[in-house]
Amino acid sequence: MPLLGQDTIRPVEGVRVGITYTPGLRPGLLVLGGPRQELLDSVRAIVERDLDFSDRFEMITLPGSDSLMLALGTGSAARGPTGPFVNYALYEALGADYAVSVMDRSDSGLAVVVYDVKGRGARRVVPVTVTSVADRGFRMVVHRASDEVVRAAAGTPGIAATRLLVVQSGRVYRVDADGADVVALTPAGSGAFSATWAPDGRRVVYTEFTRGLGRLVVHDVVSGQREVVPPTTEFLNFAPAWSPDGRTLAFSRSNEEGTQVYAYNLAEHCCLQRLTAGRFSDNLSPTFSPDGRRIAFASTRAGSPQIYAMSADGTEQELFAPFDYGVTGSSYAPEWSPDGLHLAFHRDVAGSYQVFVMDVASRTVRQLTSAGRNEDPTWAPDGRHLAFVSSRTGTRQLWVMDMDTGRVRQLTRLDGTRLPSWSPRIPDLTNH
């Protein structure tokens, strides 16, 4: 079964500004072959892609049917816990620190087994509770198993069991973190934009633009239930952001006097509060810090849009991201990293937007991209992957950068993709 998206993984010129990577420091990982069967092949292909996209391993690939033969083991192989012989010596000779096998345990379903090659033993057996590729939630079950494989080998879980929101032609779509399973969440003609995930991984909020007005819609992606917040509006409300506890929405509201940042108590359905002031200025794209104490946003108060920050109650407003007047231009779309140590945003450089990241402690800013037009960065929950929209191949698509290695890969093939938002890890909901 071919691996989706593998043809998009290639070096891309001009995208490693400020990133240093020394090859050979990641552990080698070999995904073993096995009996040919639709379910096993599908699970094996998804797991291998997930592990590759985690960017935590040097993936060892072999041509043709060699990986199938490796799964059988011969000679001095040690016996594994589920039956087959495991040829640790051969895997080590191939450069593997870990080997992964997908097995049919017949009596108890499938399992993904993680072998510690140097330790000569199985490190983890991860059950996969699927019986058919047609099972509801099949892909997310496998993605969660992949994340547990990453946890077993690297100490922290992967990001396979996450999704992204993107906007295309006025509709909100969700897409798995490997670029597959694209699903429309809003109907055609809904005029939807500015979509973002709630911290619970179950709800999203987006702007629905109709008759010159923009209302915020909270949408439960499991039940399909929708709620307009605040309940009534005569303005354009857009660019919503959730507080980390999910109780508050910050958003931008526009009228004839400009655009200001507001906060709304979603938990109690009350208490609309204006956080910024200043007539005829625009204050845009709020984003909460992970501890909920600060909000970063873009503002035109001093001229061209730049990145500012304030306390969550609107006090202590200050210029946040330094810039060189006359050298770099307008800055937009800030988003705080999950650990609170960095802030990503895009900035005009010589007439084209590029993605930047700022170290919050030192206020040091570095440029991450330079090929094509790149904008609207959003962090994965692991804090090491950053998705953004790029035109580097001619159309606006979603791309993902690994901050540790500088590897960049294309995620979507939806022409005109805009405004991505990366989810937290999707919870295991039985009816999801």
The CATH number of the domain holding residue 168 is 2.120.10.30
Contact at 8 Å (CB) between 1 and 36?
no
The domain boundary, picked from 105, 126, 154, lies at: 154
Name the packing angle between helices 138-154 and 38-53 (round to 10°). 50
- The count of domains in the chain is 2
- The answer to whether residue 428 is domain-embedded is no
In a domain, 429, yes or no: no
Task: Give yes or no: residues 176 and 292 share one domain.
Answer: yes
Question: How far is 204 from 226, CA to CA, in rounded Å?
Answer: 10
The pLDDT > 70 percentage for the chain reads 87
Amino acid 146: pLDDT? 98
Other residues' Cβ atoms within 10 Å of the Cβ of residue 395: 13
Residue 430 has pLDDT above 70, yes or no: no
- Categorize the per-residue pLDDT at 8 as very low, low, confident or very high, splitting at 50, 70 and 90: very low
Place 73 in a pLDDT band, splitting at 50, 70 and 90: very low
Q: Give the integer Cα–Cα distance in Å for 430 and 417.
A: 30
**pLDDT surpasses 50 at 22:** no
Residue 380 class from Cβ within 10 Å (0-12 exposed, 13-18 middle, 19+ buried)? buried
Q: What is the pLDDT of residues 115-169, one digit of tens each?
A: 999 999 999 999 998 888 988 899 999 999 999 999 999 999 999 999 999 999 9
- pLDDT at position 17 over 60: no
Same domain for 247 and 147? no
271 and 415 co-located in one domain: yes
The answer to whether position 430 is within a domain reads: no
User: What span, in angstroms and rounded, lies between the C-alpha atoms of 157 and 170?
Assistant: 34
- Residue 171's pLDDT is 95
Residue after which a domain boundary falls, among 92, 127, 154? 154
Amino acid identity for residue 286 in this structure: P
- CATH number, position 83: 3.40.50.800
- Residues 52 and 200 reside in one and the same domain: no
Alpha helices in 113-198 (DSSP H): 138-154
Predicted confidence (pLDDT) at residue 16 exceeds the cutoff of 80: no
112 plus 187 within the same structural domain: no
Domain coverage including residue 379:
163-422
The token pair that represents 425 in the structure block: 């890890």
Planar angle of CA 144, 150, 153, nearest 5 degrees: 145
- Element spanning 175, H or E: strand 171-176
Please indicate, yes or no, whether residues 124 and 179 belong to a single structural domain of this protein. no
